[in-house]
Amino acid sequence: MPGEVTVLVSLIAAVVAAVFYGVASVMQAIAVRAASNREPDQTSAGVDPGLVVRMLHQWRFLVSIVLDMLGFVAQLIALHRLPLFAVQAFVASNLAVTAVVASWLIGVKLSWREWAAVIGVVAGVALLGSTAGAEGAAQVGAVFKLALIVAIAGLAVVGLAAAKLNEPYRTTALGLVAGLGFGVLSIAARVLDGFSPLELARDPAAYAIAAAGIISFMFYATALEGGSVTVATAAVVLAETIPPAIIGVIFLGDQTRPGLAGVAWAGFFLAVASAVMLARFGEAHQTEDVAMADAVARRQANAGPAAAELLSWWPVDLPLFPALPDTTGVS
pTM: 0.73
Output the average pLDDT for the chain: 76
- pLDDT at res. 152: 96
- pLDDT at res. 89: 79
In angstroms, rounded to a whole number, what is the distance separating the alpha carbons of residues 177 and 223? 10
Which amino acid makes up residue 147?
A
Answer whether residue 54 shows pLDDT above 70: yes
In angstroms, rounded to a whole number, what is the distance separating the alpha carbons of residues 22 and 1? 32
Answer whether residue 307 shows pLDDT above 60: no
Of the candidate ranges 12-26, 153-167, 202-216, 240-254, the one whose mean pLDDT is the lowest: 240-254
- pLDDT at res. 250: 83
Identify the CA nearest to 212 among candidates 190, 245, 234. 190
List, for residues 66-93, the tens digit of each pLDDT value. 999 999 999 988 887 788 888 887 887 7
pLDDT band at 305 (very low <50, low <70, confident <90, very high): very low
The answer to whether 120 and 277 have CB atoms below 8 angstroms apart is yes
